[in-house]
Amino acid sequence: MNITIHGIKFQREFVPYIEQLINALHQHNANIFLTAAFQKNLKKSGAKATGFTLLPNREKLEEMDFVISVGGDGTLLDTVSMVGEYEVPILGINTGRMGFLATIAKEDVEKAVEVLYDGKFTIQDRALINLEADQPLFNGVPYGLNEFTIHKRDTSSMITVHTYIDGEYLNSYWADGLIIATPTGSTGYSLSCGGPLISPLAKNFVITPVSPHNLNVRPMIVSDESEITFTIEGRSEKFLISLDSRSTAVDASVKLTVKKEKFVAKLVKFHDYSFFDTLRKKLNWGFDMRN
């Protein structure tokens, strides 16, 4: 197998697990590639790991069987943006806290490699959200796994986001911002703003206002076949837009449209993984301090 390992950064206490991961892959005669960011951090950490190759360019990902993301959910989002249209299956090893996306505990890295080679996993196709604009944005990576967000600048007053579904007027949101989340992103920023939880394989987007001025405005679920367009008004000349953790400032003259991306993110899920079990654990459902 050809396997690429990607990570943005990791703490020194995680080094032994990195060494276990690379050693386990060597035992299965894997061809191991590291992204430049991961190799830099690995070298800085002083890890005793050898027998890998630097990923020469993004196009090389087309030859990969798997990409292993080492970090938290933010790292996995970065991995998705890197993999993009190549649709290489991604396995997330969690060194963070929440772990809705990166679901493999660091203590299970050796077991994870065994499961990959034994084929005891499924691959879930997760919908991505695509941004179309009348000017280049996000360095040619106009898609995200979690959400697209329109937001006011830090010190400005609230903005008005006029929103249209397939050309039909929906609402003018007076708010600090507006989130368009995928089912995967329903457990992220949208959830913290009162949005609903959506099963990962549902065919929907959720529109969630951020601190709306009108309290009768509520999140709304729409088909992911919808094309959602926006015009924005505000006292500030510029406002922020983001795709997952990537943000940029644009002015109100920019035309913005979001819809489902043509390709998907393929996430590796082991047979003992359960989204609902993860919800219960991460959100402490049923937890009672008195017991």
Q: What is the mean pLDDT of residues 154-178?
A: 92
Q: Is the pLDDT of residue 93 over 80?
A: yes
Rounded CA separation 157/151 (Å): 11
**Hey, what amino acid is at 267?**
L
Phi, psi at residue 257, to the nearest 5°? -140, 135
Angle at 181 between CA 180 and CA 182, to 5 degrees: 135
pLDDT recorded at residue 13: 83
pLDDT per position as a tens digit, 218-264: 999 999 999 999 999 888 888 999 999 899 999 888 889 999 999 99
Asked if 140 and 217 touch (Cβ cutoff 8 Å), the reply is: no
Does 25 score more than 70 pLDDT? yes
Active site members:
73
Token couple for 63: 């030859």
Q: How confident is the model at residue 106 (pLDDT cuts 50, 70, 90)?
A: confident
The residues near 276 (Cβ < 8 Å, ≥ 6 apart) are none
pLDDT tens for 175-220 read 999 999 999 999 999 999 999 999 999 999 999 999 999 889 999 9
pLDDT category, 32, cuts 50, 70, 90?
very high
> At CA 53, angle to CA 12 and CA 125, rounded to 5?
80
Higher-confidence residue: 3 or 42? 3
Q: For 49-70, write each residue's pLDDT tens digit.
A: 788 999 999 999 999 999 999 9
Q: What is the pLDDT of residues 269-282, one digit of tens each?
A: 998 888 888 888 88
- Strand, helix or coil for residue 194: coil
Q: What pLDDT does residue 98 have?
A: 64
C-beta of residue 180 within 8 angstroms of C-beta of residue 123: no
pLDDT higher than threshold 70 for residue 291 = no
pTM of the model: 0.92
